[in-house]
Each structure stands twice: as structure tokens, then as C-alpha cells.
Structure 1
Amino acid sequence: MSGTAPRVRLAELVAALSLGIDLGFGQPMEHVLRQCLIALRLSERIGLGDEERVPVYYTALLVNVGCHSDAHEQAKWFGDDIALKAGKYRYDQRSLAAAASALRLIGSGNPPLHRFRVGLEFTLGGFREVDHMIAGHAALAAALARRLSLPTDVQQAVGAAYEQWDGHGWPGKLKGEAVPVAARLAQLAEFTEVAHRLGGVDAALTLARRRAGGQFDPRLTAVLCEDPEAVLGDLDAARTWEAVIAAEPALGVWLSEEQFDEALLAVADFVDLKSPFTAGHARAVAALVDAATSQSHLDEDERRELHRAALVHGLGRLGVSNAIWDKPGPLGTGERERVRLQPYLTERMLCQSATLAPLGAIAVQHRERLDGSGYPRGLTAAAISTKARILGAADAYQSMLEPRPHREALRPAQAAAELRAEAAGGRLDAEAVTAVLTAAGHRVTRRPPGPAGLTSREVDVLRLLARGCSSRDIASRLVISPKTVRNHIEHIYAKIGVSTRAAACLFAMQNGLLPQADDPAA
């Protein structure tokens, strides 16, 4: 971006991310944006000032941003994490109907015997694990708010987003007026948006009244019911993206170039939590394209744009179920088609922002191939930009270095051979492949020193844990006992101050432990 480019608004990046959260919950794009407008309208009607509406705005946009972080575990239990999360709006929270709906999904998509085994395992400990995961979602959302340098009251409200008025929410530490008003507004807005979209004003009011005093603050419910048209009216007619960006309170949060890069990195890390097989992928690809273009004909602005496109190129993964991403066997035709949509979804998430759209235009082409065999549009050489060719080569190389559910990670020498074969076959740009491999061959190999006092063995365990390996798998790979692995995990969690695999994975990414460096010549 040139020095004359307009400054970047944080609201645009968070709003774009919210479109991916919509997809991850099986909702149409702009569900979260609409709930933000509802929350803001309610906040005005209860007399909140401009500064007080800042946490309302960002809490409504970020409320569910942590829910994809353990999609790997959700898919393990329920088959399709998106189908599971879509059920959130069908039943009252913590109701028997909600529990029954989840139980019907146990092991779905698998043979009967596998479903029976998963169901038995779930009855022994799955309920507690799922409860713990839900409680951790808000904590991870608060962590993202912290990385985006949002004010403390935003972080606190996002961290309490699943608490309920009656105290029966998650983690269940707050109730009543102790729950930040921004969290109460966001929760009421989230559920009434879905009810209104599906059934109109009457359905929204029926839901709000039924849950008043339980999940919802009865005073806020009464405000909604007093004049529902003032709160819910014109939602269908509004140009939602423009309305939400224009509604950002208190003059808006503007980012410098450096702050924008940090914010993109924070979002990239959170998106990469979607699957343990992609942990740290975006930041590794960004580092690779930086090195690959350092001696290229691209100018500084073009290199910076490509770096940013590398950070956002995987955003569309949020819209594809982990039943596909984490499947150990071959994909079916329908599943492959969902995968082929991922770059397109990334573009759709970014296209409404004048700042982010150019990044989406590069990212959408990173899986295109010169001979027309790529996706999503089957472009041929003339239509694929130079930046997209470099990004495509870097993404392909880095992906081969990472484990996938159907294969182990390739050695760097194997990955290089595969990449050269793609260039020789006319699928990847030979010049881009040479630049990427040259960059990879000159990267310094070093073992991170062990942040937070982690020992070398604990670092090894953390890396495997972040990749979704069970205690038994880690024990087998490291030739130690499962009990020793469990002790290591307990010590790791205590040292780094987390309590979930997703949070540990985020720590590993932020501290350079993922992806793991290797010898390019190996």
C-alpha cells in the first residue's frame, strides 16, 4: 500500500472476519453484521453514550469468533462442526431439546459401529469436554480482542459473551447486572436476529419474551418489545456492510500500516486454529513469500500487499466443515467441491472493503494453475497475476511440509521435488517456484529456545498436541508413556497459563513453535 493510500479501519477487518463466522455457524453472510446493528439500536434506546457503545459494537462483531478454535474436537464428536453450531439457534440454551439435538449428531457421517464407540466415549467424558470448550470460546475471543489492541472493556465484555442473566451460562461465573451490558446486548441481538430473519417480528418477540429472566436481561427484552420496529425495522432494506462500518462509535479505530499488519497476523493465527493440521500455516506462507520476493522485481508496496494476501488467503476455510478438513481418507465428490469453494469464500469475505478487496483478489487465485486445472474458476496462465503465482507456489510448498490427516508431512527435499514437478508439468509458474525454493533453501534452521520456561521435551509435546494428536499418539511418536505425556501436558498448561488445546495451539503459533522449522536439504 502506498503512502497516499487511505488509512485502514479496524472495523473493516473485524466485519470481514465476521462473515466467515457466519459461514461457520451455517448462517447467511451478514448475520453478525445485522446483530451488530440490533445491539447498537438497543444501546441507543437505553441511553448509552458514544464511548459506552464501543464495547457493544465490537462485542457484537466478535462474540462467536472463538467458536471455530476447537472445530477439530467438535468434528470428532459430532461429525460436522458447522451442522452442530447451526443448531445453536433452534433450542433454548442448556435445554434437554438442545442436548438431544447434539446427541443425535454423535459420530454422524460414520458407520454404525464407529458411532456406537464415539457415543460411548462421549458419555464417559464428552459432556464435560464440550462444556469446557464452550467456556473457552469467549476466552479466546477476548484474547483476539487483546491482540487487536481493543479497549479493556471490550475484552471484558467479549470474555463474558456466553454468560446469562440467570447465571447458567458459560463459564457460569457472572449473572444479572454483573454481566457487562455489552455482552447482554450482543446475546439478545444475536438470537433475535436469527428469529427475526426466519419468522419476522412476532417470532423475535416470542423468543425474547420466553427467554427473558433466563438467558436474557428482562430489562433489555422489555426495551425491545416496547418498539420492535425501531430496533428490527429496515434490517432487510439496509445496505448492511456500509451501515455497520458507518455506525462504528467514537470516531472509529484507525490503524497504521504496522498495526494493520499486526491485526492481519492476529486474525490469521485465529483462522489457522480451525484445524490442527493448519496451525501456523498463514504466518509461515507470509514469511516464505517475503523471502521469495526480497530480490524480485516487485516494489515495496507490491511486496507488502502480497505479504498481507498471504496472511488472509485461508480465511475461507472457516466456511468448510472439519469433517472435510480433518478427514483421514479420500474426499467424496461433494466434499472436494466444498474444498474448491475455499478461495472463493475468502474473496467474498474481503470484497466489500476497499482496503481488503485487493488482498482478496490475490488470495482467490492462489489455487489456480497455469494449465487451467486449478480452482475456483479454472483460470489459465494469462489470467493469473504474478503475485498469485508466488502465493500459490509458497502455499503449495508450505502445505507439503505440514502433516495432513491422510499423510505425514513431507521432508523439505521431497516437497521441493514435488514443487519442481508441478512447474515442469506446466501447472505452477517456474520463476515463482524457483524464488520460493531459493528462499526456503536459505532459511536459517534453528530450534526455538522454549518460551515460558518450556523444556525441549515439553516443546515437542506441545507441537504434537497443537496438531491434534492424542496422548497415546504423542506417547508413540516420542517413545514415552501416555502417563508421562499427560504429566507433560499438565505442566505445559500450567507454564503457559491455558487450559485448552486451542489456546495451547495459539501460544505455539505466537511463539514460533509452529510450523516447525526443518533442514531444507533433508
Structure 2
Amino acid sequence: MQGDSDIRVLDAVKALAFVGDLSMGQPTDHSLRTGWLAGRLAAEAGHDDAQCGVVKEVSLLRWSGCTANAAGFAEWLGDDIGSRADMLAMRPGWAGADESPGRFGAAITPLAQIHCEVSGEVARMLGLAGATQVALRHIFESWDGAGFPHQMQGGNVPDAVFLVALAGDIEIFSRIYGVEQAKVLITQKAGRQYPQALAQLALSRAAKWLDELEQWSTSAHDEPLNTQPMLQTSAPEIIADVIDLKLPWMAGYSRRVAEASAACCARLGLGEETARRVYLAGLIHGMGRAAVPNAIWNTPGRLPTAAWEKVRLVPYWTARAGKQIGALARESEIASLAYERLDGSGYFRGAAGDGIAREGQVLAAAAAWVALRSKRPWREALSPEDAATLLREQALAGRFNADAVSALISNECDEYDGSVIAQKPRCAQATLLSPRESEVLRHISLGASNKEVAKALELSPSTVRTHVESVFRKLACSTRAAATLKASMLGLI
């Protein structure tokens, strides 16, 4: 992978925190505020600087696995976003509360396993401390041993898990119900979710900390949450891969848009710096997708008006991300132009003509080019020829930049191998998995069941299962979401 597009780990973490907050139905500064509170709580509880740093990192990444199990929550409860927001707020009668303990545990355990494995992998890929990785892999365990997915007893659970859970509860409960009711709810959870003594410490300081938190300015968001590992650099592709995990049929989509966009810039002679910006914008242009429930994305027919309005806000949320991730502000602005059209028929701004930056025009054409050739729940993938014909027609109608469209569908653009595009490590692809394992992995990464893979590849289901188990073993993971994430970062899919 080329290092020209690398970003600070802190900026990748903040982007993932933004996506996670949207996915959990929280305000987009929830994880930042939780990190601030968790850091204060850890210091007050006597933890050293290293542990306080771990707590901050865990706070920002604790929802980084929630795109990976969004499909499971949608299947279980219908609305993967609203149901999780209700669960965090402990609202009476939230859908999961109606389940019997046995049925609830059976439903939540595999979802927790997916979440924990993916968030731990994210921390590992970002180069964060082993303690951060371990805490994230156990983020839903509880003090009384009734947590998920392993029902570990309190003394075996990393302290960071309790510190972050308690800080998150303070942030959510006080915001929704006020400080006094927050104290009541935390008291109810004390001794079960987190240690009694830690809860008492937090309750004695909560009002003061919340007052200080309100004074915490947006411009200061980096300094109190920064840790030494987050000063390093990271490949930005991890953001794209986590975004795409929300919808299995989107696997690899954001990377392909980024690559097509950068290739188009090179073909148009826009310069390496412009290509780099547009490449990064392509990677992150789907951040706002996390705010829309999976049920809407999976709708096979025409969307109702209310659902369509949520979709129209996707680029708005992407633009908002730039306000929170200052280092990616320009790229987020470009990313938010992905669905604008030159004739003013796009969204969310309804911008037209020169009101859409050249970088945005390239990105919009590239996103459409990749999407048309990808299968969606409401249509089959178009052939390259049919996609090219349709995109040319749209350009002639004044919706897309004609030069960008021509560049995208040219053979020279397809063969572009520019320095800003992350190169996949072909040596890993050639040696880690067998050709058949790679084929099976590509199918399951797009959400296919073993039975569907067996039919597509003309294999028996038991043979497919054997290949899947081998892939998991070689990638050192136990869930399809984690296998997809790791394989994507290794260049295997």
C-alpha cells in the first residue's frame, strides 16, 4: 500500500466514531463526549496515563463494530438504528425487552460476537495498544458475569470496559433524562453492569463533570482525547471497509469508487494532489449511510417519501463529519457532493453547474459508474457496456460531467495504476488462500449464505462449509464480518 494517502490514526478513529454514533442512533459527538468523561473517571479512579489513554481509545472505537452487525439487528428488530438507540437509553418496552431472557441471549450473543471481533480487529489494524484491542473484544461483558458474548466474571474483564460503559451511561442518560434521573438509572445498574464502588465515584462527580463537558469547545476536541498511538499514521481504507460492512452487498464499494475517482483525475490531468483528495473523498463518501436503517437500503421497490428523505440526508451527514474531523474537512466536503447532479436534480444541496466543485463532479460520476455495475436489492448489476451507455446518456442530458464520464469508461482509465491508489498485496492473495477459498470468500463477503455459495459454485454445502472454516482459520477470525474486513485490508477481495 502506498503511503501517500495515509492519515493520522486519530482522524481515522474520529471518522469511525462518527460512523458508529450514527449507527447507534446517537448524536455525532456522543463518542467524543464519552471519551472525555471516561478519561476523567479513569484518572479519578487512580489509573495511570497509559490506562487513561486506553480508556479514551476504547471510548472512541466501542461502536466501530456496529456496522458489522447492523444486518443482524435489522433482521431481529427491524430498525437497526432506532432499536439500538432505545436499548442504550433503557426505554421501557424497547423491542428486545419483550424477549424472554433465553431468547434475548440467543439473539444478542452472535451480534455481540460480531461487534466485538470487528472492533478489536479495527484497533489492531490501526496499531493501537493490545490493551485497547482486548477491551474492545470484551466491550459488552458486565461485572456480574451476565454480559456478552462470553459471560465473563468481573475480575476477568478489563477495567476499561467498565469505565467506558459507565461514562457512556452518564452521557446518554443525562442528555435524555437529566442528571438526577441519570443517577437513578446508574444506581440500578451498579453492581451489575459495572462495580458498585466505581459507580459511586462517578455519581459523586457526574454533575461537576457534565458542567465542565459543556464548556469543552469544539476546537479542543483533539487534545484531551489524543494518545501517543493516535499520533501515528494509518491507511484510510479501513474507514471505507467499516462503512461498507453495514450492508453486505456493499462490500468493497467505497474502495472501488475511490479508485475509479483517482484514476479519472489522472486521466483528466488534474494532478496528484487533486487525485489524492478525491481518492480520500471516495473512501469516506458513504459515512452518512450509517444514519439510514438497513430496511430502507434493502427495499426492493420504490421508496416511500419518508424513507427517501432519510436517504437524501446521507451526504448531509457526510458533510457534517468534516466539521468533527478537521483534518478531513476538505475531503468530507468533496465527499458530500457525490449525489449532486449538474442539472440541479441531485441531493442534498440541489447544487448545479459550477456550484459543484470539479472534484465533486468527478466523484459523482465515479460513484454512479461503480454503482451501476454492482448488484443491488432493487436491480441486477448492469454490464460494463450497458452501464457505459446509460452514463453517456446521463452526461448528454446534462447530469454528469461528460469529460469525467469519458475518462471513467476508457480502457486507459481502467488500467490506471497511480501512486495515490492503495495497491493490493498480490503476494498475500497468491499464498494465503487457495483459489477456491478466495472464490468462496468473495461470495460470503457479499452476504451469500453457504447454500447460495454452493449453488453458485456448483459445490456441496458441506464443501463450502469446509472452505469457510479454512478461511476463518487462516484469517484468525470467527465471523464473516471480521473475515471480510481482514480480507479487504489484505487485498484478498
Q: TM-score, normalised by structure 2?
A: 0.89
Q: Distance in 2 between matches of 1:272 and 1:496?
A: 19
CA distance in 2, matches of 1:306, 1:349: 16
- SS of equivalent to 2:376: coil
Q: Is the counterpart of residue 195 in structure 1 residue 173 in structure 2?
A: yes
Match of 1:111 in 2: none
In the alignment, is residue 382 of structure 1 matched against residue 354 of structure 2? yes
- Alignment-derived partner of residue 287 in structure 1: 259
2:290 counterpart (302, 309, 318): 318
Residue 455 in structure 1 maps to residue 434 in structure 2 = yes
1:394 to 366, 370, 374: 366
Specify the code of the residue in structure 2 equivalent to 1:195.
F
1:57 is matched with 56
C-alpha spacing 1:102/1:14, structure 2 compared with 1 (3 Å): farther
The reply on whether 1:159 has 2:137 as its aligned counterpart is yes
Q: Which residue of 1 aligns with 2:246?
A: 274
Tell me the secondary structure at the aligned position of residue 428 of structure 1.
Answer: coil
* Structure 2 unaligned spans of 5+: 1-5, 418-423
Residues 387-412 of structure 1 deviation map (CA, whole Å, 9 limit, x = unaligned)? 11111111111112221111222222
2:473 is aligned to 494
Whether 1:212 aligns to 2:190 is: yes
* Residue 175, structure 1, aligned to residue 153, structure 2: yes
| Contact 1:24/1:82 (<8 A) preserved | yes
Is the 2:39–2:53 contact (alpha carbons within 8 Å) kept by the matching residues of 1? no
Tell me the alpha carbon deviations over residues 311-364 of structure 1, each in whole angstroms, 9 at most, x when there is no partner. Answer: 111111111111111222332222222111111111101223332110111011
- Aligned partners of 2:116 and 2:138 also within 8 Å: yes
Pick from 446, 456, 467: which aligns with 1:477? 456
Note the residue ranges of structure 1 that are not aligned, 5 or more in a row. 1-6, 104-121, 515-522
1:309 and 2:267 correspond: no
What SS does structure 2 have at the residue aligned with 1:376? coil
Structure 2: how far apart are the matches of 1:429 and 1:250? Answer: 43
**Hey, what's the Cα distance between the residues in 2 that align with 1:172 and 1:443?**
47
Partners of 1:510 and 1:441 in 2: how far apart?
21
- The whole-number CA distance in structure 2 between the counterparts of 1:389 and 1:167 is 53
Q: Indicate the residue corresponding to 1:112 in structure 2.
A: none
SS in 1 for 2:49: coil
Separation in structure 1 between the aligned mates of residue 466 and residue 269 of structure 2, nearest angstrom? 52
Q: Distance in 2 between matches of 1:297 and 1:452?
A: 37
> What letter corresponds to residue 258 of structure 2 in structure 1?
A
> Is the 2:142–2:154 Cα contact (8 Å) retained in structure 1?
yes
- Distance across 1 between alignment mates of 2:164 and 2:355: 43
Q: Is the 8 A contact 2:301 2:378 kept in 1?
A: yes
Percent identity at matched positions? 35
Which residue of 1 is the match for residue 421 of structure 2?
none
Runs (4+) of structure 1 exceeding 6 A deviation are 95-98, 446-449
Is this contact kept in 2: 1:192–1:207, CA < 8 A? no
Structure 1 CA distance, aligned partners of 2:252 and 2:43? 41
Distance in 1 (alpha carbons) for counterparts of 2:425 and 2:116: 32
Partner of 1:106: none
Q: Does 1:43 align with 2:42?
A: yes
Q: Judging changes above 3 Å, is the alpha-carbon distance between structure 1 residues 102 and 363 closer, same or farther for their aligned structure 2 residues?
A: farther
TM-score, length-scaled by structure 1 = 0.85
Please report how far the alpha carbon of residue 219 of structure 1 lies from its aligned counterpart in structure 2 after TM superposition.
2.2
Structure 1 window deviating more from structure 2 (223-232 vs 58-67): it is 223-232
Contact 1:370 1:384 in 2 (8 A): yes
Residue among 459, 479, 483 paired with 1:504: 483
- Shift of residue 458 of structure 1? 2.6
Q: Say yes or no: does 1:247 pair with 2:224.
A: yes
User: Deviation of residue 15 (structure 1)?
Assistant: 2.5
Q: Between Structure 1 and Structure 2, how many residues are aligned?
A: 479
Task: Confirm whether residue 32 of structure 1 aligns to residue 31 of structure 2.
Answer: yes
Alignment counterpart, residue 342 of structure 1, candidates 304, 314, 319: 314
The counterpart of 1:331, out of the listed 303, 321, 325, is 303
How far apart, CA to CA, are the structure 2 residues paired with 1:436 and 1:388?
14
RMSD: 2.8
Distance 1:354 1:211, change over 3 A: closer
Letter in 2 for 1:55: V
- Give a deviation string over 1:73-101, Cα, whole Å, max 9, x none: 32223222112211222449xx9987444
What secondary structure, in the 3-state scheme, does the structure 1 residue paired with 2:369 have? helix
**Aligned CA distance change for structure 1 residues 76 and 98 (closer, same or farther; 3 Å):** closer
Do the aligned partners of residues 304 and 42 (structure 1) sit closer, same or farther apart at CA in structure 2, a change above 3 Å counting?
same
Contact 1:276–1:466 (Cα < 8 Å) also in 2: yes
**Distance 1:452-1:339 versus aligned 2 partners, 3 A rule:** farther
Q: Which moved more, 1:128-137 or 1:403-412?
A: 128-137
Whether the 8 Å contact between 1:347 and 1:364 is mirrored in structure 2 is yes
Contact 1:12 1:245 in 2 (8 A): no
* Stretch deviating more after TM superposition (346-355 or 307-316): 346-355
Cα separation, 2, equivalents of 1:458 and 1:285? 26
